[in-house]
Structure 1
Amino acid sequence: MRILKTSLVAAALCASIAMPTFAGDETVPSGTFVDEYGTSFEFQPCGAGTALCAVLTNLEGASATEDNLAFVGKQVIEAEQIAPNAWKGSLAAGGMSADATITQIDPNTVTIQGCRAAILCKTLSYNKAS
């Protein structure tokens, strides 16, 4: 049992060291962020100010189906802060939903990891639009 507790403490410490931090941390990303395909989200604080919400503002590539395009202009992400520069919540569009983890790498970069069934995961990087 002692080994298990020590392992858990060590894992938590490693996770806190590995979490990205930068000047002005504890901020919520805001503004438009775009991936390499041209899909974009408008992030803004929500809830008590530490939660993160995102509106899908543009959809490009293979994901730009008629069904998915119906969600452009709608809030599709809501996530609660779980650590400095990290939020966990859901990405929902119509009947489809996925667990979402948003990590702010630096003031101009966020990643979104979406997971379905806890094992089918994909991470995309988004850069702040100028």
Structure 2
Amino acid sequence: MYKKILLPTDGSTYADEEVERVEKLISDDGEVIVLSVAGKITSSAFQPRRKVKKVNEKLKKDAQRYVDNMAAKFDDNIHVTKMVKTGFPAETIKQVTEEEGVDLIIISSSGKSGIHKFIIGSVAEKVLKDSEIDVLLVHNE
């Protein structure tokens, strides 16, 4: 059993499988951290600052919605911490893992093949490759 599990989410439709795995692997007094990483764009000569600010606000709101939706799927007896960060997903997942003392990361793969696997699912691949703790990769089709 794991004391602290990190569950990154990007709002994909695979939440039910991930929640089921967490519930099987978390200790009775454990904690699950549901994390969504919002991207951030910067202003440029082609993008006015006001427009960029609106886009970044939307990205953060979407990330919060993903976290809220995932957290709501857990039974009340599981301690859930909701977290939204801004940054690059794989790097932010690693940072949160270290800062929070996480024992296990549960993350979905895209289930794609060929060129789609190369492009989609790269976050899960980076997390799996760079992690110093256990990672459960949930394969989805």
TM-score for both structures, normalised by structure 1: 0.32
- Judging by fraction of residues, say which structure has more helix: 2
**TM-score normalised over the length of structure 2:** 0.31
Q: Quick one: higher RCO (CA 8 Å, sep 6+), 1 or 2?
A: 2
Q: Which has the higher strand share?
A: 1
